[in-house]
A and B are shown apart, each in its own frame.
Chain A
């Protein structure tokens, strides 16, 4: 098989790609630590990262209990928005006038300020999971829809003309040519919106929830515990990174041809 590299070589490549990120993030943490230790700033204003980590570890059970609802809201809300975006993208692709009818509505939905909408949605739908799912869907739907529409439009004219010349009806041209052409755009949209999704879930919880990272952050702030606020922020950052990693992994698995461009040309 020409395109499977040995494990050792792949590990070496992974390391050579990772170390700049490790250096930059590690450097920032070191600067922060040094400033917190030596500037005389009180830990109730800016705790050192070491203190954040230690307190986070001490409260790990509570943090974990509040992370689970956030993960649930993020994943469910995101699943809803991706499905809805797919359905609407197909409808718009087949019935072009819908684009002009619907797009303004979706654009307006993006101009709604979260800070006003989140409390209202909680007021209407309560403290349960529903308002969180809705808010996550609200912030991620539009980028996914645009990514898909642009993806369909990126289909090469020659390919469409070719498939049409073979006698394929419109829906088969969509399945054979337009949908696969949209894959790279779909994954680009996925990577962008997954980072919005976690923030959206936390904001929804902040506006009102029984459990979740958002409400945990609010309580920690009200108890003058910036160390726990930051610990929760680190958890949410880690969560976002993990979800981001999942989308990258999904992309690699579903688009294997992208990794071998230019290799092994005879």
Chain B
């Protein structure tokens, strides 16, 4: 990994007396798919709140292409937990949301999004409301809403956490295909070890609170990846690491 696009150096964050993140340092290279894997409550979502500017770090530096992140210009497209589709907007108007916020007119935004519906398996559902779509389709619409913003980097916050196991496996394969085709620089936050192994080039393993990096695992497997002995071996190694790390029980 040469020139890092995103680099976090010694990031710390506490809420009152509760230290959530302690001395966190990570880097994501251009076109790289990196995951942050950690147990619940390890501050994974806090990292994204710091990146999107919803929270400010107590200490440390956040650099993008070598320059500190500016509060009014964030180079990220964020995909939140669950899909956060707006019930009251048709699918096409949900996917244009980011463009609308950027100040692009509704018609122009629709023209830009419309050609992508086929690739995302949503052709013919432009005028539907979210309530009419299955969980997997809703996630694809949410990802379309994310990538169409044309930002430098994707932040994916446990995007498939709310799906049933089969749909999740299906969506992971689909996301890998899409990522291989487009080469989006991506940072994924998840507590699903297999998901991290299937999708990532590198995995940062986070400890329980206060979250710090306890391991950095490269996944040198060829793509497309399928579950099998190689994936299972890496998965088992990471699980051992997570389960053997002492945690503060409360």
Chain A interface (Cβ within 8 Å of chain B)?
2-3, 156, 158-159, 161-168, 172, 176-177, 180, 183, 255-257, 260-266
B72 x A167 contact (CB < 8 A): yes
Given contacts A165-B76, A167-B74, contact A263 B132 (CB under 8 A): yes
A3 to B81, CA, bound (A): 29
A177 to B88, CA, bound (A): 10
A246 to B184, CA, bound (A): 50
| Chain B 131-163 residues near chain A, CB threshold 8 A | 131-134, 137, 149, 155
A172 to B103, CA, bound (A): 11
Q: List 23 A-B contacts (CB under 8 A).
A: A3-B132, A158-B81, A158-B84, A159-B80, A161-B49, A161-B54, A161-B80, A162-B80, A162-B84, A163-B101, A164-B54, A165-B76, A165-B80, A165-B155, A166-B97, A166-B102, A166-B149, A168-B101, A172-B101, A260-B129, A261-B131, A266-B125, A266-B133
B88 x A183 contact (CB < 8 A): yes
A263 to B82, CA, bound (A): 21
The residue that B101 contacts in the complex, of A167, A180, A264, with Cβ under 8 A, is: A167
Cβ of A194 to closest chain B Cβ, rounded Å? 23
Known A159-B84, A177-B86, A266-B134; 10 more pairs at CB < 8 Å? A158-B82, A158-B84, A159-B80, A159-B86, A166-B97, A167-B72, A167-B74, A176-B97, A264-B128, A265-B132
Q: Which residues of the other chain, A, contact B125 by a CB distance below 8 angstroms?
A: 266
The residue that B52 contacts in the complex, of A164, A177, A180, with Cβ under 8 A, is: A164
B204 within 8 A of A: no
With CB as the reference atom, state the residue of chain A lying closest to B142: A162
With CB as the reference atom, state the residue of chain A lying closest to B149: A166
A257 x B102 contact (CB < 8 A): no
Given contacts A156-B84, A158-B82, A263-B132, contact A163 B97 (CB under 8 A): yes
Cβ of A261 to closest chain B Cβ, rounded Å? 4
A162 to B132, CA, bound (A): 22
Cβ of B92 to closest chain A Cβ, rounded Å? 14
Cβ of B54 to closest chain A Cβ, rounded Å? 6
B22 within 8 A of A: no
Describe B's contact surface by its main secondary structure. loop
Residue among B52, B72, B101, B149 facing the most chain A CB atoms (10 A cut-off) = B101
0/1 string, B50-85, CB within 8 A of A gives 1: 001110000000000000000011101010111010
A265 x B129 contact (CB < 8 A): no
0/1 string, B86-105, CB within 8 A of A gives 1: 11100000000110111000
Closest A-B pairs by Cβ, 4 of them: A165-B78, A165-B52, A158-B84, A257-B129
Cβ of B126 to closest chain A Cβ, rounded Å? 13
A158 to B131, CA, bound (A): 17
Q: Which residues of the other chain, A, contact B133 by a CB distance below 8 angstroms?
A: 265-266
Q: Which residues of the other chain, B, contact A264 by a CB distance below 8 angstroms?
A: 128, 132
The residue that A166 contacts in the complex, of B73, B87, B98, B130, with Cβ under 8 A, is: B98
A161 to B98, CA, bound (A): 12
Given contacts A172-B101, A257-B129, contact A162 B78 (CB under 8 A): yes
A172 to B130, CA, bound (A): 22
A3 to B129, CA, bound (A): 11
Q: Which residues of the other chain, A, contact B84 by a CB distance below 8 angstroms?
A: 156, 158-159, 161-162
A166 x B131 contact (CB < 8 A): no
Residue among B73, B74, B88, B98 facing the most chain A CB atoms (10 A cut-off) = B88
Cβ of A180 to closest chain B Cβ, rounded Å? 5
Cβ of A238 to closest chain B Cβ, rounded Å? 33
With CB as the reference atom, state the residue of chain B lying closest to A261: B131
Cβ of A73 to closest chain B Cβ, rounded Å? 33
A180 x B131 contact (CB < 8 A): no
B101 x A257 contact (CB < 8 A): no
Residue among A162, A168, A177 facing the most chain B CB atoms (10 A cut-off) = A162
The residue that A262 contacts in the complex, of B53, B131, B137, with Cβ under 8 A, is: B131
A231 to B80, CA, bound (A): 58
Q: Which residues of the other chain, B, contact A172 by a CB distance below 8 angstroms?
A: 101
A168 to B52, CA, bound (A): 12
